[in-house]
A and B are shown apart, each in its own frame.
Chain A
Amino acid sequence: MDKFIRLTAKACPLDLPNVNTDQILPARFLKVPRSSELGRLLFYDLRRDANGVERPDFPLNQPIWRDAEILVAGRNFGGGSSREAAVYALYEAGIRCVIAPSFGDIFAENAVKNGLLAAIFSENQVIELSAAISAEPARPLTVDLEQQMVICGTRTFDFSIDPVSRNQLLNGWDDVDLTESFKDRIAAFKTADRARRPWARPRN
C-alpha cells in the first residue's frame, strides 16, 4: 500500500455529523469493481439531487474545492457499514486524508489499509480549522503524520491517531507480507490450539 508521511493539499470542509458509509458510497453502487468510476460516485446522494444534477451548495461541487485532497468533516465520519468501497471511492476521488472528531471503527481500519489518513481533531479544532479554510479556501494545508500536526498558514493543530495505524501508514506495510514472516508461529499456534480446543473446528 501507499505510504502516508506528509501531504500538502487543499482542504474542503464538510460540516456534517454522522456522514456514514451509506452516504459516502450508496449501497446500490457496491457492485462496481474498484476503478475510477467509484470516485465519481463518491457522496452521490449528498452531492446530487434526485435527477442526478449536482447540488451547487455541496462543498466538493464548488470549483475551488474540486481538487481538494483533504476533507474536514463532522463527528462519527464513516460509521455504519463495513464497505471498504467507501474508502476506495474517497481515494479514487483524490482524497488522501480525512480530519474529523471521530470515525467509525471499521472505516478507520479500512482507511489505514488503503493509505488514507483518518486524523482525529477535537470538535473545537474542527470548527476552528473549518473556519480558517472557509476564510481562505485556496490556501493548502500541510498534514504531517510524523509530527502528528496540521499546518494551516501560521497556525498549527496537533492531532491524534493510534500508534498502530500511524506505524502502518508511515511504513506502508503490506499486512500479508508481514504476516508471512510469522508463518512458524501461526503453524505452532494452530497445532497447540487443535489439541486445546478440538471442538472449535466445525463438525461436518
Chain B
Amino acid sequence: MSKPQTLIEKLWSAHEIARREDGAALLWVDRHYVHEGSFHAFAQMRARGRRVVEPGLTFAVADHYVPTRGRDQPITDPAIAAMIEKLETNTAADNITLFGLHDPRQGIVHVVGPEQGLTLPGLLIVCGDSHTSTHGAFGAYAFGIGASEVAHVLMTQTLWQKKPKLMRISVRGKTIAGVAAKDIALAVIARIGADGAQGHAIEFAGNAITALSMEGRMTLCNMSIEAGGRCGAIAPDATTFAYLKERSFAPKGNAFDEALETWATLPSDKDAAFDREVTLDAEAIAPIVTWGTTPDDALPIDGNAPDPAGESDPVRARYLRDALEYMAIPPGKKLTEIMIDRVFIGSCTNARIEDLRAAAAVLSGRVSKVPGLVSPGSSLVKRQAEGEGLDRIFRAAGLEWAESGCSMCVGINGDIVPPGERCASTTNRNFRGRQGPGARTHLMSPAMVAAAAVSGHLADVRPLLAGRSV
C-alpha cells in the first residue's frame, strides 16, 4: 500500500512538473489572480519582451486602490487613477479577463475568486497578495507570491517552490454562541504566534472547522498568513461542493460530477503524518480582540492588557512597553474600558454576506456611538446585502455604506484611520500604521466590531445577542 498522504501532499504532487536536485519543484499554476499592485510584474515581463502565456488562467480584479465612494465621478487623485488605468491597459494588452472598477462583479480578489467559481478544490492558486491563503478554504493549494514570482507565472504559468513542512491545526468541539471564525483564527494565532507556522503549510481540521460555512472557512484560511503560514487549507466536503454548484466559472453538469470524483479523493488519508500537530478546544474560545501591534497580541475580551512590569523576559517586556505606548493603552487596562473612535467592517477577511449579517444582527435597532465605514467584500455581496435590507440597518445605526474594495484595511485608496485614532476593525493586520500613519487598530470579528460600535468601547458581543436570532 502506498504511503498515506495529506491534503497538501496530494495537491502538491498533482502539480509537480519537475524537481531539481536541491529539492525545489516546478509547479503548474491553475489560477493566477492579479490586481493593481501587480504592475511591477507586468513591467518585469515587458522588459524581457514577453507576453502572458496563459491569459485564460489569469484573472484580474481592481481592489486595492479603488474608491469606495463617488464611483460615478472621475477619481480625483491622479496617482490612484493611474494605478487603476495601468491594470486596465496591462490586462487588455494580453487579453486577461478584468473585473474592473465598473464591473458588477468587481470586489476584493479573495472574495471575487470564490464567488465566481474560479476557486475550486484541487487547484493551485497564486496571487501577488499574502491573503491568497483564503482560497485554501476550498481544498486548493493557494499562497501569496512576490512580484518576481508573479512575473514568472505570467511568463510560464509555473512556479519554483520548496516543499513546505506540514502542520495540522485541529479545533475540536463546538464553539459557544457569539464566537465566529475570526475568533478561532485569533485563538490559533495567539496560541502559536505570528511566526508560529513559518515554513509550514497549515491544514485546519476538526469538527469545529467542518461546522464552519465556506465564509467562515475563508476567514480562517485568510488569517493563516498572520500565523506565519503562507498557505492554509481545509479538506473539501459537502459544504464546499454546495457552495460551488452553479457558480459562473465552476464546472457544470457532467464536468462537475467528474470534478467531484477527484475532489472526494483530496482529504488527508487516515494515517497521514504531519511535522507538527496543534489542537484547540473550541468550547474554550471566547470572543477575542487584539490589543497590540501584531495579530498574536490577542486576548479574550474579558481580559486585561498586559503589564510589562510582570514580564520576566526583558526583550518581551520592552516589546510590550513599545506596543502599549503606540496603542496608547495603560498597562493592565481592562480591555472593555478601551474607548474607540471609529469602526470598520470590510476586507478580504470579513466582508462576505455572512459577516455583514452577523454585524447587522447586533446593530439592528441600535445606534453606533462612533462613526464607521462598511465596505462589502464585493459588489455582488453589496447587492445581496441590499436585497436583504442590511444596508438600511447599517445606515440607521449611523454607519456609512460604501462600495467594495480593500479600503480601510490597507488604506491606500484614501480610506484611512486618522493619526492617533483608534479603530475596531474586522481586518487582518493591527500593524503600526497599517490603516494609516499613526492609526491604532483592534482586530475582531464583525459581531464584535458591531458590539464596540454600539458601546463606544471594546465590548463583549454576547450580552448584546440576548434575545436575538443570529
Contacts and interface: CB of A to CB of B under 8 A. Distances in A.
Interface of A: 16-18, 20, 22-23, 26-28, 30-31, 33-34, 45, 50, 74-76, 79-85, 87, 102-106, 109-110, 113-114, 162-164, 167, 175-176, 178-180, 182, 185-186, 189-190, 193, 197-204
B117 to A, nearest CB: 8
Nearest to A189: B17
B158 A82 contact: no
A79 B23 contact: no
Given A18-B294, A110-B146, A164-B24, A199 B198 contact: no
Nearest to B296: A18
Given A82-B130, A114-B148, A204-B248, A102 B198 contact: yes
Contacts of B22: 163-164, 167
A75 B313 CA distance: 15
B325 to A, nearest CB: 13
21 contacts: A18-B195, A26-B433, A27-B412, A30-B37, A31-B82, A34-B43, A80-B431, A82-B130, A82-B145, A113-B149, A163-B23, A176-B151, A179-B160, A182-B17, A189-B17, A198-B255, A199-B120, A199-B258, A200-B122, A202-B57, A203-B249
Contacts of A110: 146-149
Interface string B69-82: 00000000001101
Interface string B115-141: 001101011000011100000000000
Contacts of B229: 105
A80 B198 CA distance: 11
A79 B145 contact: no
A179 B99 CA distance: 30
A36 B427 CA distance: 32
Contact of B432 (A22, A84, A180, A201): A22
Q: Which 4 A-B pairs have the closest CB atoms?
A: A110-B146, A84-B146, A199-B259, A113-B148
Given A200-B120, A200-B122, A176 B152 contact: yes
Nearest to A163: B22
A190 B53 CA distance: 12
Contacts of B252: 203
Name the residue among B39, B148, B149, B411 with the largest chain A CB count within 10 angstroms. B148
B249 A175 contact: no
Given A163-B23, A186-B17, A76 B195 contact: yes
B250 interface: yes
Given A50-B419, A113-B149, A105 B40 contact: no
A182 B411 CA distance: 41
Interface in B175-202: 194-195, 198-199
Contacts of A30: 37, 412
Interface string B5-23: 0000000001001101011
B256 A199 contact: yes
Interface string B50-81: 10000011010000000000000000000110
Interface size class on chain B is 35 or more
Contact of B228 (A45, A74, A105, A203): A105
A159 to B, nearest CB: 16
B251 interface: yes
A202 B149 CA distance: 22
B145 A106 contact: yes
A85 B128 contact: no
A50 B158 contact: no
Given A27-B410, A199-B255, 4 more contacts: A106-B145, A176-B50, A197-B259, A199-B256
A178 B21 CA distance: 14
Contact of B40 (A34, A163, A182, A199): A34
B28 A26 contact: no
Contact of A27 (B198, B293, B434): B434
Contacts of B248: 203-204
Contacts of A31: 79-80, 82-83, 412
Contacts of A79: 194-195, 228
Given A27-B411, A105-B198, A80 B429 contact: yes
Contacts of B330: none
B30 A76 contact: no
A17 B315 contact: yes
Nearest to A86: B146
A136 B207 CA distance: 56
A203 B156 contact: no
A83 B37 contact: yes
B251 A203 contact: yes
A151 to B, nearest CB: 26
Nearest to B150: A84
A200 B30 contact: yes
B469 interface: no
A101 B293 CA distance: 19
B371 interface: no
B432 A105 contact: no
B26 interface: yes
A74 to B, nearest CB: 8
B428 to A, nearest CB: 9
Contact of A186 (B24, B26, B122): B26
Given A109-B146, A190-B28, A22 B438 contact: no
Contacts of B262: 197, 199
Contacts of B59: 202
A106 B432 contact: no
Contacts of B24: 164
Contacts of B433: 22-23, 26, 45
B230 interface: yes
B437 interface: yes
